[in-house]
Chains A and B, each alone.
Chain A
């Protein structure tokens, strides 16, 4: 699986989004489902998928799909397709 597939899967699982939802557009401020509980679920889903541990600052920075990519790049676990 590509990094993109793994991350979109983690977003769908973590934020409980339907398969048809374009997760690359998910924004914490506008997406109703993205509450505090979903946020921690998303963190866990990303951590499990990419075998990383997000720092407190990264938890707060995780506000969108592009933000997640930036965090995973910093951890050196993101592979461009």
Chain B
């Protein structure tokens, strides 16, 4: 089993500085990281393939626990260490992980005993054998997508998924072993992990800190590690725009990558100019957890002209547009369908699902609506499915509606970076719900807006007419 793990499948210089932990100011070489991961993996011996929860902060301890679980050949679910206690207890009692790694502050779970951990973090082992089916031998990673809403829906990813997507990203972004990046996202989420995976696989390096983007620690870390590229969500770029990159004294950062959501064209234009002034480039990428992380990327040469495009499909993948089961012609709008080695095995909503094998056959319907132009560039025009991405988290609109429906008829729609709830009652009636929802999702309440409406538009069959509300699905000619 253990030829998994990103430290096993490339052969760079063992003395190469690989991970800079800004919390301690220490570098780990490739050899030190490998030794510590191997030490940790040795604690994870179970009679059969195990399931691990890793509550991961952006520090080397969490990183080592995560990499060790992968390397030991287990299935691992990285989780937010600030996840609501009731929610994490619910996930633990549902999935009964064999081990739980987390910060020293991790609450003791009933049914688990603490064992000596190889580092500052905590390692808890389940006292009794979990009462669940065997875990499928291909399963490596469980990625929580709408997990923050308390819905235990996770994406099941195989080792092949992780490795192939990392290779696709390395090729698209032209990474090399000389590259060093600053991790701008939590490593418990899919984007943060994909950066870790790609840099380890290419033999490059990265820096991480628990400090937030708007903090001195964060930029001190990036500077000390001499990072030469950085990537993040559109919100990261908004923040960076306010922080003024030149004043942050990180002159070596020249390559910029944007992912997880669409960057407003004005920001793309601005950061392309900044990158070019520094002798670098700006890459725009698109993807989703169902395809491990990334699906397509826009070559920097096509900016700024094609800044509304999500680019070309990554190497080894195929992307096309479908409508009612047939492939669309160029410029015709439909749903984006992706086929590639990085397509998930399927979803898991209960522990029994962990025994399931591949159910996708390498194909995923993305739920995104869009079209392809005559050059083969893809564009997204809206969402087919009832999920929105808020601050990188996928939130189910239907769940939100259920939550708010007690006071009045409501309809939740996606409005760009916000979730708008149309309600047949004034907003104050829902103030408590907004507060509760925001807390549960760990999101700022400004992501939710209540709009009062006389009556929610409905179709002839009585269902909500979302197209009349959202207007975010535009025809293909809006280029």
Contact = CB atoms under 8 A, between A and B. Distances in A.
B164 to A, nearest CB: 31
Nearest to B447: A37
B239 A40 contact: yes
A46 interface: no
B438 A16 contact: yes
Interface of A: 16, 18, 28, 32-33, 35-41, 43, 56-57, 59-60, 62-63
Main secondary structure of the interface of B (DSSP, over half): helix
B301 interface: no
A37 B242 contact: no
A10 to B, nearest CB: 13
Contacts of B235: 36-37
21 contacts: A18-B435, A28-B215, A33-B444, A35-B444, A36-B212, A36-B213, A36-B214, A36-B235, A37-B235, A37-B391, A39-B214, A40-B239, A40-B242, A41-B444, A41-B446, A43-B242, A56-B242, A56-B243, A56-B247, A56-B248, A59-B214
User: Residue among A18, A28, A33 with the most chain B CB within 10 A?
Assistant: A33
Given A16-B444, A56-B242, A56-B244, A40 B214 contact: yes
A38 B219 CA distance: 19
Contacts of B212: 28, 35-36, 39
B438 to A, nearest CB: 6
B375 interface: no
B443 to A, nearest CB: 7
B214 A60 contact: yes
Contact of A40 (B82, B216, B219, B238): B238
A59 B243 contact: yes
A60 B243 contact: yes
Nearest to A56: B244
B445 interface: yes
Nearest to B210: A29
Interface string B218-259: 010000000000000001101100111001100000000000
Contact of A60 (B215, B391, B445): B215
A57 B391 CA distance: 24
A40 B236 CA distance: 11
Contacts, number: 51
Given A41-B444, A59-B214, A36 B239 contact: yes
A40 B215 CA distance: 12
User: Residue among B215, B244, B442 with the most chain A CB within 10 A?
Assistant: B215
Contact of B445 (A16, A32, A39, A63): A16
A67 to B, nearest CB: 12
B264 to A, nearest CB: 15
Given A16-B444, A16-B445, A60-B214, 8 more contacts: A16-B435, A16-B438, A36-B214, A39-B212, A40-B238, A40-B242, A56-B244, A60-B215
Contacts of B243: 56, 59-60
Interface in B307-332: none
Nearest to A15: B444
Nearest to A43: B242
Contacts of A63: 215
Contacts of A18: 435
Contact of B242 (A32, A33, A38, A59): A59
A55 to B, nearest CB: 8
B401 to A, nearest CB: 22
Contacts of A37: 235, 391, 443-444, 446-447
Nearest to A37: B444
Contacts of A60: 214-216, 219, 243
Contacts of A32: 82
B217 to A, nearest CB: 9
Contacts of B236: 36
Contacts of A33: 444
A9 B21 CA distance: 37
Interface in B423-479: 435, 438, 442-447
B247 A57 contact: yes
A63 to B, nearest CB: 8
A60 to B, nearest CB: 6
